[in-house]
Amino acid sequence: MHPYRHERDSEVPRSGGSGVRYRRNTHFAHREAYIAETVLAVVLLTSLLASWMFPAWTRTLGIGAQVFALVGTLVGVFTMIIGVGPRTTPDYIYHVAIVAVLAWGIATARRQSLSAADDADRRHRTIHQTAG
**Domain-located, residue 124:** yes
Give how many domains the chain has, as a whole number: 1
Q: What is the dihedral of CA 14, 19, 24, 29, to 10 degrees?
A: -110
Among residues 97, 86, 68, which one has the least CA distance to residue 32?
86
Asked if 48 and 59 count as a contact pair (C-beta separation under 8 A), the reply is: no
Domain around 92: 30-131
Please state, rounded to an integer, the average pLDDT across all residues of the chain: 78
**Domain-located, residue 15:** no
Cα(first)–Cα(last) distance of the chain, in Å? 84
Among residues 32, 61, 56, which one has the least CA distance to residue 46?
61
**Domain-located, residue 92:** yes
Q: Whole-angstrom Cα distance, residue 4 to residue 61?
A: 44
pTM: predicted TM-score of the whole model, two decimal places = 0.67
Residue 107 pLDDT exceeds 90: yes
pLDDT of residue 86: 83
Q: For the ranges 1-10, 31-40, 54-63, 98-107, which has the lowest average pLDDT?
A: 1-10
**Domain-located, residue 126:** yes
**Domain-located, residue 76:** yes
Residue 100 pLDDT exceeds 60: yes
**Domain-located, residue 125:** yes
3-state secondary structure of 32: helix
**Domain-located, residue 22:** no
